[in-house]
Structure 1
Amino acid sequence: MGERMLSVVSAHADIPIRIAGIWDPSAASLDRIAAQFPAVPLVADPDALIAASACVYVASPPASHLGYARRATAAGRSLFLEKPLAVDLAEARRFLDDADAVGAVNFPFASSPAVATLARWIAEGAVGTPRSLVIEVAFATWPRPWQADAAGWLDARPEGGFTREVVSHFLFLSRRLVGPLRELRGIADFPEPGRSERTIDATLHAGVVPVQVRGRVGGTGQDDHNTWTLEGDAGTVRLRDWSIAERLRPDGHFEAAPDALPNDRARLIALRRQLDGVVRMAHGEPHTLATFAEAWDVQRIVEDLVAA
């Protein structure tokens, strides 16, 4: 994700963001990024990066997020954290209680064109009174091919797994569009010692709306397939494969929004909008980025599920 963000900043000269520097404990990672982005300064350590920055972006493995966040807030910097907020619920709760920090968490659905379409449809009455919500995710393999070089932690139980990495996005979406998350009941299956979950099956509520969550690795030929489907007394809408907003028509088929974009294009728009939000957040202006409180609500559900 750090490389993706660098790509977006590099491709848009009009974004009022200057990359003050990057740091990674892996020399190989820094060499690769330096070759791709030769104009980006490399710094010696996290403290040098924090000292050079007004806003610190943390795109490291989850267990390290709050350690860097505390160092940045102690120096008076604003924060933009990758999700999840952390993997230790007690540590995350202490951070929320103690931190006097300006910051947000990177859930790109906060800036997604497709999510904006869903929100508009819902506001216009396309769903009516919501009655149920279903989240389904499936993967040919885990991690996904583009994450293979991070398999050491992405497929390990302490920090990895598709529930933290992918389902968390759809829980955030549920909280943002439907209501606060509560009343989790579910199970995650860990059939391979030391590796992350291979299936999940859970129920919870978003506000008063019952939610079903199902996920699996295997049984599909797609690298990454997902649906978020909200059904109500007036109709049904869904988000498919990250970026396609659809409505259920009377003949039983889902029809995509006329301006729907494939994810490789929609993702760049969302990340650009996220960075615009980071600028507003760092300047103390209103923004739509995910708050620490929203990220905590999502994390609480996720960690309870993978611990079940």
Structure 2
Amino acid sequence: MTALALGIVGFGIMGERLLTQALPHPDFRLAAVWDPSPDAAARLAAVDSALRMSGSAADVIAACDVLYIAAPPAAHVPLARAALLAGKAVFLEKPLATDLAEAEAFVAEAEAMGARAAVNFPMASSPAVAQLNTWREQIGAPQRLEIGTHFARWPRGWQSDAATWLSRRAEGGFTREVVSHFLFLARRQLGPLQLLSADVTYPGGDMAETAISAELRTGGLPLALRGSVGRIAEEEDHAWTLTAASGAIRLRNWSLAEQLGADGGWHTAADALPNEKMRPLTLRGQMDKLAALARGEPSSLATLREALDVQRIVEAILASRSPAA
């Protein structure tokens, strides 16, 4: 089967991670990459000295069958719309847009045209989530969900290249960048999300949130959400914890599936891997599904509609309190 021509716009950490999986993948060949940053060009050359930056995003769209969009959020919809109108498949990062109305309009357009498009929520291909699904059959009817996501600092150290927008209220913040992943998992596992109440702490100026607290429902079940910056010593700590009639399970720190034992302690799956080792496996699964999507075959990647539903909740949380003076 002919390999699909992959184009990448935005060559930060996410673009580089996807490229490293795409280069050896039998269903893809690299067509073009574009990022305006000189540092990005150096990173691309470090991956393979034969690789060169294209002249523009338009050049990448023209050269590819599938466009991966890892640019800052304000560019997502313009790039995705241009690619879809050119007949390309699109795989984009979240959030869909910086403006919710723009995201709504884009999703309606894409659905009307039967677009081949998906959003990169890696939990759609996570082996750890697959383990949780197996355990769910053993613990009975779900009763409640808790999500905790905490950081020593924001942005995290490895995100320094994108700190100029990740640290700002307009496009960044940990709720959009990280909490959205766990809300996607809640929606897919348990059902539609509904925000009941929320409280957000902002520092002065235009800086992103430093704490959130929210009560939601997912598929009719109670969901308690907590998040913070600066309250822990380790770089980050996350838990997605589902309590059911006959037990509890959780996803901890992205990749560790754990089950509550009869002894009252949490027990990690025997084949669990730390995130740095799990991430390539998960991304490989995403690439397999992206190839299917691009060829018009069924795929379980996150849909535009799922991403829009998550974005609605995220933006409602962030709008729940006026910024501090």
TM-score by length of 2: 0.91
Structure 2 contact 41–52 (Cα < 8 Å) conserved: no
Alignment of 1:58-207 (within 5 A): 58-99=69-110, 100=113, 101-122=115-136, 124-126=137-139, 128-207=140-219
Alignment of 1:185-264 (within 5 A): 185-264=197-276
Distance 2:164 2:199 in 1: 24
Of all paired residues, the percent bearing the same amino acid is: 49
Distance 1:14 1:90 in 2: 36
Pair 141,229 (structure 1): closer, same or farther in 2 beyond 3 Å = same
Aligned length: 304
Distance 2:205 2:56 in 1: 34
1:269 corresponds in structure 2 to: 281
1:285 corresponds in structure 2 to: 297
Structure 1 contact 228–238 (Cα < 8 Å) conserved: yes
Structure 1 contact 22–41 (Cα < 8 Å) conserved: yes
Distance 1:22 1:256 in 2: 39
Structure 2 segments unaligned to the other structure (5+ residues): 1-13, 321-325
* Matched residue type, 2:208: S
User: Cα offset for 1:14?
Assistant: 4.1
Distance 1:149 1:16 in 2: 30
User: Cα offset for 1:74?
Assistant: 1.1
TM-score by length of 1: 0.96
* Matched residue type, 2:272: A
Distance 1:273 1:129 in 2: 29
* Matched residue type, 2:172: G
Q: Encode CA deviations 1:45-84: one digit per residue, 9 max, x unaligned.
A: 1111101000100001111100101111111111000111
2:66 corresponds in structure 1 to: 55
Q: Encode CA deviations 1:207-230: one digit per residue, 9 max, x unaligned.
A: 111101100001211111100000
Q: Encode CA deviations 1:95-153: one digit per residue, 9 max, x unaligned.
A: 1111222110000000000000001111x232x11111000011111101100121100
CA RMSD across the alignment: 1.2
